[in-house]
Amino acid sequence: MAIKVNQSKQYRIYIKESKSWVDVNKEFYTNYYRDINAYRKRQQEHGRCVCPASKRYLCDMDCMTCPYAKAGDQLSLDNTISDGEGNEKSWLDDMPDESAAIAELMEDAELLRAL
């Protein structure tokens, strides 16, 4: 759902699924739009939302399906960085592997069976 106000000061919400407008009272409109507006502004500050003003009524805070969503300042773990010697490595290379080694699991299983 998204919200839009027309010139006659009627408060309306646009429902994407049915592609129709629904009249609402001012209190509901204000509460609903406050959340959407705050979320969209936060996304715009980080370059993740490039929604034009004429399409803001379509905003439902679902950036995964929005055609105006961008990566912004989010970087992937595949992002590569260069050290002073020109060698490149991804951030994923620096993450420790926290999964238990197969040998350790086998030892623990044998120990449990022995006990």
Per-residue pLDDT of the chain (115 residues; tens, 9 = 90+): 565 554 557 899 888 889 999 999 999 999 988 989 899 898 888 888 888 888 888 888 888 888 888 877 776 666 677 777 878 877 777 777 777 678 888 888 999 999 8
Q: What is the DSSP string of 13-49?
A: EEETTTTEEEEE-HHHHHHHHHHHHHHHHHHHHTT-B
d(CA 108, CA 29): 59
- Residue 108, both tokens: 């623990």
Q: Where are the domains of the chain?
A: 2-58, 80-114
C-alpha gyration radius of the chain: 25
Length of the chain: 115
